[in-house]
Structure 1
Amino acid sequence: MQPTEGERRTRLTIGVVAARSGRLAKLGDPLTFVTEHLRRRLRHVVGQGGRYELELVSRDSRSDPEVARRVTEELIRHERADIIVTLAGTRVLPAVADVCEALATPCVTSAFPWQVHYFGRGATRTRPFSWTYHFCWGLDDIAAVFAEMWAVLGAERRVGCLWNDGPQGNWSRHRERGFLPAAAARGHFLVDPGGYREPATAFDDHITAFRDADVEIITSAATGADLARFRHQAARRGLRPRLITCSRWLAYPVDGTGADDPAEAKVASLVYWTPRHPYRSSFDGMPAADLAAAYERATGRQWLQPLGLAHALFEVAVHALATADDPTQARAVAAAIGRTRLETVAGPLDWTTGPVPNVATVRLAGGQWKRGTRHPHELAVVSNSHCPGLRLEADLEFLH
């Protein structure tokens, strides 16, 4: 019901777009959990003008960008969402953000390299977005962490690039803003045979190029299925890299045995959130370990890295509503996000010093899948120079 002229609004709404079904459901699971976990705890916001009731309203994107557009518009037009939050994939997340930009609604997103989100959607350093804000690591941050791990084998390594022909692959190879220039600046030589279409069937050209270049390291942003397929085909043709670094096989504990066992494959990846991170919620001081434990108790499943980011989305949204000059006015809420500096359970987030407007960065460490004690596979921290306060847990291991 719309308030009458002059009547003060007393209710605020956070709209949530989560992939509860479809291929991204595992990524959407932490956001769904956090939404329900906080629904009982976030009943009110105290902001400029007084105390407001707070409602969290969620919609399923079904892992489909067209559905994501439709439900985002529903949240804005019918549920009167004051701010939208989402974690999504390479096609779904931009769909949500683009609707919010078009309908002048503040939006906070995460779990997507910021260059792909920002430049890939058409913004520039001098022409930022008006309504959509993001926090995540960058492709250059991935390159820095991976290059540090490659250097354990020695300086100036030859690295084969297993990148797709989609947004993440194309931006990774961007000559100015991607992974490639950041890694090359550290003295490494990258071999990029070109992009492959997902899902992949054969990697013959890549394997030939890597063998001809005598690479010892493969770096990738492949799906778990495509990476396993590449490893099988490479082994049959005698290509046995000593290390694989993969920025996409990172968020989830991977079920695998034999050649598909991530511990046996010595796959190294990114670490952006664990129960061991020294971070706490801005709501109540809850440590990262307690959030992971609550997730495991409620779901019976192993914690996932996006869990910390999912919780931080709500921390940022509530902070913006509480500090906006008028939380019922979209422009004021967007401005509040843009000046946010906040310690969250995902770490410190600062939009005032971001690499570009609309973006705050997340700290990264290097990790490697190991056989676990509490869980079949656990991601151990093997490189921490870019993440102060996070202790090393294991040595980086190599094949043969």
Structure 2
Amino acid sequence: MESAEPQDRGKSPDGALVVGVVAARTGRLAGLGDPLDFAASYLRPRLARLVNGGRTHPVRLVSRDSRSTADGGRQAVRELVADEGARIVVTLAGTQVLPAVADACEEARVPCVSSTFPWQVYYYGRGASDTTPFRYTYHFCWGLDAIADTFADLWELAAGPGRTVGCLWNDGPQGTWSRDEKRGFAPTARARGHHLVDPPAYTEPATELSGHVEAFAAAGADLVTSAATGRDLALFRATAAEHGATPRLITCSRWLAYPPSTTGTGGRPAQANVATLVYWTPTLPHRSSLDGTTAAQLAEAYEQATGRQWLQPLGLAHALFEVAVHALRTADDPTDPAAVAEAVGRTRLDTVAGPLDWTAGPVPNVATVPLAGGQWQPGRHHDYELAVLTAPHADGPPVSADLLVNR
């Protein structure tokens, strides 16, 4: 695909290098937009200018609301490119929204960096292949295979090897790609010796999950894995309780990065004691490439500014801006989107979210983030806190608690 010339694009009114930010601020995903919105506000005064090749350029961070919809995300990209002259766009979160934003950037020939979405769904789900990558859109995250390995560690911690596991998967991208026999969650879990019970998929938002509860009971599955929303997870737990079934352990990837908020049975959050992924915590030893801010300092700044509990996506949201600024600093021409995209593709950078390396794969356009296993448990400083239960990586967060299971 040929790159558009800079003069053919919208230009920043003040000549600044504009970093466009697409974040949900209204609609059902508004809470998911909080980390990126905070990171933009936190960094805006710190990123007034940058130096590329000895020349100083003014910088502006400009945000647009995706309105929690794919159409809203596409419109946000159009506005950022045409009206603001964005040279690079950053975004995270939203199963439908994130791919729409990335696709809109690819079509507009403006680089985009995104995160918090399994890389196989991002890459293959948007139509790329091992030999035909994207030119303008880049991503960093974990993969479905890494989720499966992390959850298998937790299943084995809870009940030993070779378990029967019920799959609470929807008919959307998360569920469909989890089932994929080549690149999904399922083949990795089976390779670890676990048997998966996968009833017919449900449609979000779920209205009836008794079929799943019954199928799991019939198969003797006392472990359940899912990528459900908090609402659907609460429905599943309530339905299981009505059937007299209490899974020994539930593992869930989606939405569980955020502190428990959705109320389930008995007044408990749906996420209470659910095991999940750990990809960023204040205990990580990483620092920002921009100013040396530590993970702990970033979490503290968020809590002081918002009065709310720190969020896992906060570290990745901050790292998005680190990557964008690094690309603008190192591009052959920071005003040329094609050159900025090429700079992202050769980026190797230590960030507050850890080291990111687009030269290492696993496929073009993607850098990976390591995972540990965790669980939302009653805490000392907050009602529920994310405890770290497994530590498969040397530079990951330290184990902080034992796994809680239902007996």
For normalisation by structure 2, the TM-score amounts to: 0.94
After TM superposition, give the deviation of residue 292 of structure 1 in Å.
Answer: 0.6
Distance 1:299 1:347 in 2: 24
Distance 1:279 1:72 in 2: 31
Q: Does 1:87 align with 2:113?
A: no
Contact 1:250 1:271 in 2 (8 A): no
* Comparing 285-294 and 259-268, the one that deviates more: 259-268
Q: Does 1:366 align with 2:373?
A: yes
Question: Following superposition of structure 1 onto structure 2, how do residues 146-165 of structure 1 map, counting pairs within 5 Å?
Answer: 146-152=151-157, 153-165=159-171
Aligned to 2:328: 321
Q: What is the DSSP-based 3-state SS (H/G/I as helix, E as strand, rest coil) of the residue aligned with 1:378?
A: strand
Could you tell me which runs of 5 or more consecutive residues in structure 2 were left unpaired when the two chains were aligned: 1-5, 9-13
Contact 2:230 2:270 in 1 (8 A): no
Distance 1:388 1:194, change over 3 A: farther
Distance 1:288 1:371 in 2: 22
Give the total of aligned pairs: 395
Distance 1:92 1:294 in 2: 28
Question: Following superposition of structure 1 onto structure 2, how do residues 22-101 of structure 1 map, counting pairs within 5 Å?
Answer: 22-48=27-53, 50-101=55-106
Question: Match of 1:250, as an amino acid?
Answer: L
After TM superposition, give the deviation of residue 387 of structure 1 in Å.
Answer: 5.6
After TM superposition, give the deviation of residue 352 of structure 1 in Å.
Answer: 0.4
Aligned to 1:268: 275
After TM superposition, give the deviation of residue 259 of structure 1 in Å.
Answer: 3.6
Question: Match of 1:284, as an amino acid?
Answer: D
Question: Following superposition of structure 1 onto structure 2, how do residues 220-235 of structure 1 map, counting pairs within 5 Å?
Answer: 220-235=226-241
Contact 2:260 2:272 in 1 (8 A): no
Contact 2:285 2:395 in 1 (8 A): no
Aligned to 2:191: 185
Contact 1:259 1:265 in 2 (8 A): no
Aligned to 2:305: 298
Q: What is the DSSP-based 3-state SS (H/G/I as helix, E as strand, rest coil) of the residue aligned with 1:383?
A: coil
After TM superposition, give the deviation of residue 138 of structure 1 in Å.
Answer: 0.5
Contact 1:162 1:220 in 2 (8 A): yes
Q: What is the DSSP-based 3-state SS (H/G/I as helix, E as strand, rest coil) of the residue aligned with 2:376?
A: strand
Question: Match of 2:235, as an amino acid?
Answer: R
Contact 1:365 1:387 in 2 (8 A): no
Cα shift readout 1:166-186 (whole Å, capped 9, x = no counterpart): 001100010100000011110
After TM superposition, give the deviation of residue 328 of structure 1 in Å.
Answer: 1.0
Question: Following superposition of structure 1 onto structure 2, how do residues 104-119 of structure 1 map, counting pairs within 5 Å?
Answer: 104-119=109-124
Q: What is the DSSP-based 3-state SS (H/G/I as helix, E as strand, rest coil) of the residue aligned with 2:342?
A: helix
Aligned to 1:345: 352
Contact 1:382 1:393 in 2 (8 A): yes
* Comparing 287-296 and 236-245, the one that deviates more: 236-245
Cα shift readout 1:11-60 (whole Å, capped 9, x = no counterpart): 21100011111111111011111111111010111113511000111111
Q: What is the DSSP-based 3-state SS (H/G/I as helix, E as strand, rest coil) of the residue aligned with 1:13?
A: strand
Contact 2:151 2:251 in 1 (8 A): yes
Cα shift readout 1:62-99 (whole Å, capped 9, x = no counterpart): 11111111111110111110000011201111111111
Distance 1:355 1:117 in 2: 13
Q: Give identity over the alignment, percent.
A: 62
Distance 1:214 1:349, change over 3 A: same
Contact 1:249 1:269 in 2 (8 A): no
Aligned to 2:11: none
Question: Match of 2:104, as an amino acid?
Answer: V
Distance 1:77 1:338, change over 3 A: same
Contact 2:74 2:100 in 1 (8 A): yes
Which of 91, 99, 108 is 1:103 aligned to? Answer: 108
Moved over 4 A (4+): 262-265
After TM superposition, give the deviation of residue 263 of structure 1 in Å.
Answer: 8.9
Distance 2:289 2:138 in 1: 19
Q: Does 1:215 align with 2:230?
A: no
After TM superposition, give the deviation of residue 124 of structure 1 in Å.
Answer: 0.4
Contact 1:270 1:364 in 2 (8 A): yes
Contact 1:263 1:377 in 2 (8 A): no
Contact 1:266 1:399 in 2 (8 A): no
Distance 2:127 2:236 in 1: 33
Aligned to 1:122: 127
Cα shift readout 1:153-204 (whole Å, capped 9, x = no counterpart): 1110000000000001100010100000011110101111121000101112
* Comparing 243-252 and 95-104, the one that deviates more: 243-252
Contact 1:258 1:264 in 2 (8 A): no
Contact 2:142 2:370 in 1 (8 A): yes
Contact 1:262 1:370 in 2 (8 A): no
After TM superposition, give the deviation of residue 279 of structure 1 in Å.
Answer: 1.1
